[in-house]
Amino acid sequence: MLTIRQYVRAESLEEAYTLAQKRNNMVLGGMAWTKMYNRSIGTAIDLGGLGLDTIEETDEAYLIGAMTPLRVLEQHVGLNAMTQGAVAESLKGIVGVQFRNTATVGGSVWARFGFSDVTTILMALEARVELYQRGVMTMEEFALLPRTERDILVRVIVPKMERSVCYLSQRNTKTDIPVLTCAVVRRGGETFAVVGARPRNAEVYRDTEGLLASGVTEEGACAFGESVARRASFGSNCRAGKEYRQKVAAVLVRRAVLTLDKEG
């Protein structure tokens, strides 16, 4: 059971950061996962009053506030236009509309869930994470931070650029946590894949062997899928075994590469 002794609606990031330094204090996201914890929180810190619940657009990037609900990200016209709908595709399988209105981007990213659709698509979009004290870093760098880190996630920055994106996931049943997530991106002649829910944090796999360098063929797509599946590490849990995940990864990457090629 979750208990909270005190609730503070932070009036500044500095206030939130100062409060967050105490070990039994906690910054709240959407709470969809947190409320299932069996823990006692000293002070629950709410960033809800800091205007971080929207997506801003600049000439170079989309700035996604940490408190932006997943549903707002899912429905964002600009981000979906830039990714041929891959952002919506990545989020639509997460439980239901009410859940996605409740859960936040910041909560999903900060938690670094090993099953995250959100982390997979943001990593595919080469997003950067802005922390209050540490500043801006890539999603890959952020994934390596120790979980004892007590900084504040302010926003996620998605750079605007020409790219083709295909997002696929495998679920045992609709709206369940994914068995595997996969995004393949083609940008400026380069192709890379992001595979998540392995069930570990998402990771980027580049076409280092040049299997797709001279164009996409069925054989090349298949070889790239096998290559990613060979390089990625997988694990087992109640949803699937690691051998199954490895097979699925090869198939999803191949399908995503071929889909991107077909859709031009």
Partner 1 sequence: MEIKLTLNGKKITADVAPDLLLLDFVRDHGCLSVKRGCETANCGLCTVLMDGTPILSCSTLAVRADGHHVQTLEGLQEEAEDFAIFIADQGAEQCGFCNPGFVMNTIALLRENPDPTDEEIKAYLAGNLCRCSGYEGQLRGIRAYLNSRKGV
Q: Which residues pair with 45 in a beta bridge?
A: 8, 27
Contact flag: residue 111 with partner 1 (CB under 8 A): no
Residues 6+ apart with CB under 8 A from 129: 109, 136, 137, 138, 139, 142, 153, 156, 157
The interface mask with partner 1, positions 78-97, x = CB under 8 A, is --------------x--xxx
Measured between alpha carbons, how far is 247 from 229 in angstroms, rounded to an integer?
Answer: 7
CB of 95 to partner 1, least distance (A): 5
Site stretch for partner 1 (CB under 8 A), options 19-27, 35-43, 114-122, 247-255: 35-43
134: which residues sit within 8 A by CB, 6+ positions away? Answer: 151
Residue 26 or 232: which CB sits closer to partner 1?
A: 26
Under rule CB under 8 A, residue 22 binds partner 1: no
Strand 61-65 and strand 153-159: the pairing is antiparallel
Strand partners, 167: 183
Q: Which of 5, 22, 206, 230 binds partner 1 (CB under 8 A)?
A: 5
Site membership for partner 1, residue 251 (CB under 8 A): no
Cα–Cα distance measured from residue 256 to residue 86, given in angstroms and rounded to the nearest whole number: 11
Rounded to a whole number of angstroms, the minimum distance from the CB of residue 239 to partner 1 is 15
Question: Applying CB under 8 A, which residues contact partner 1?
Answer: 2-7, 9, 28, 30-33, 35-36, 41, 44, 46, 48, 92, 95-99, 101-102, 174-175
